[in-house]
Amino acid sequence: MNVLGIDFTFFAVSDMQESLTFYRDVLGMSLACLVHEGTWAEFEINPGTLVLGQGYDFIHPGGGTVALAVDNVTAALQELEQLGIQIHSPLGESAVCFWAIIKDPDGNRVILHQRKDGTVG
């Protein structure tokens, strides 16, 4: 086997409309497609895809984590706080990045991530 990379990150959600509102309207991500009678949504985030799924028996809401690259974590946190989004883990810093953690409506962890060298992926 030769693993080539990650094709998508999958989050189980309990309420698709609430999750679409969070990812599309709050985080400003573009919805690429909504299929399977509205139980599967894809957001293209180059170099990957974030998939939301509702009602699949092999998944459980609230168990995932994804790191989303942003150009400025501090500004993103300020914007989200103004919208009433609770910050799960405040701004942190490592030798290579800045980061913070929020949660989506199902408790899936969303890391807001900014590499100091400006790269993504």
Q: Is residue 22 part of a domain?
A: yes
Q: What is the CATH number of the domain that holds 79?
A: 3.10.180.10
Provide the residue range defining the domain that includes 56: 9-115
Rounded CA separation 29/110 (Å) = 13
Q: Is residue 29 part of a domain?
A: yes
Q: Is residue 120 part of a domain?
A: no
Structure confidence by residue, pLDDT tens digits, 31-84:
999 998 889 999 988 888 899 988 766 566 667 788 899 999 999 999 999 999
Question: Which amino acid is residue 48, in one-letter code?
Answer: G
Q: How many domains does the chain have?
A: 1
Peptide bond into 47 cis (omega under 30): yes
The answer for residues whose C-beta is within 8 angstroms of residue 109's C-beta and 6 or more apart is: 64, 65, 66, 88, 101, 102, 103
Is the CB of residue 104 less than 8 Å from the CB of residue 77? no
Q: Is residue 121 part of a domain?
A: no
- pTM of the predicted model over 0.85: no
Q: Is residue 25 part of a domain?
A: yes
Q: Is residue 1 part of a domain?
A: no
